[in-house]
Structure 1
Amino acid sequence: MFSSLLRGSTIALRTASARSALRPVAAISRTSLVSPLRAYSTGLNRDDISARVIDVVKAFDKTTASAQVTADTHFAKDLGLDSLDTVELLVAIEEEFDVEIPDKVADEIKSVAEAVQYIASNPEAN
């Protein structure tokens, strides 16, 4: 019963592959020859980045003055975060923007404004 179906499908596959093998080069569509390009446009403006960073800081459970977070807020001075808390906060910011902050850069980020500056300068931030 199934042998006739299988025989018919293998014949169809052979003829289809033979047709595609005999196509002239000019018949190949141009789209199949184009390699994909990666665009580096974040589509984020500084205000959106700032608002999202502030939201992450406010949602961080170890902040003491979450209602008063602004773009000028310093992590240690204004929020009372120690170095480990700052690292955890930066990890949360990395997850929010789907980006990795290198350790050397993360050591230099001490405020909301500096985090916003880094995210705005990173072309892979989402």
Structure 2
Amino acid sequence: MIFEKLQEIIADKLGIETEEVKMESDLREDLEADSLDVVDIVMSIEEEFDVTVPSEDEESLKTVGDVVKFIEDNK
């Protein structure tokens, strides 16, 4: 559930197909998200999942799997 919704958010923000977003995908390397994309994705995650992502934690969210775990741990 979380992963599928996250796939939609990331694909929408980056203009890619949802199938390209995998648990092991690195946001910056594999999906080519720049720093503004990451901020936009984080803001959408905060709104969609009702979580707060402190700016110091943004750098630790490297893969889609990292983001899923963060959401699960902070919901």
TM-score normalized by the length of structure 1: 0.53
Give distance in 2, aligned partners of 1:93 and 1:56. Answer: 8
Instruction: Please state how far the C-alpha of 1:67 moved relative to its aligned partner.
Output: 3.5
Report deviation, 1:63: 4.1
CA-based RMSD of the aligned residues comes to 1.6
Q: Which runs of 5+ in 2 are unaligned?
A: none
Counterparts of 1:81 and 1:121, CA distance in 2: 24
Matched with 1:55 is: 8
- After superposition, give the CA deviation of every residue in 1:49-104 in whole Å (9 maximum; x if it has no partner): 111111211121x3445441111111111111112211111111111101111111
CA distance change for structure 1 residues 65 and 80 in 2, over 3 Å: closer, same or farther?
farther
Match of 2:21 in 1: 69
Distance in 2 of aligned mates of 1:64 and 1:55: 10
- Superposed, 1:29-40 pairs within 5 Å as none
Aligned residue pair count: 75
Q: Which protein has greater RCO, CA pairs closer than 8 Å, 6+ apart?
A: 2
Q: Secondary structure at the match of 2:24?
A: coil
Calculate percent identity across the aligned residue pairs: 29
Aligned residue in 1 for 2:57: 105
Alpha-carbon distance change, 50 to 59 in structure 1, aligned in 2, over 3 angstroms: same
Aligned AA (2:35): S
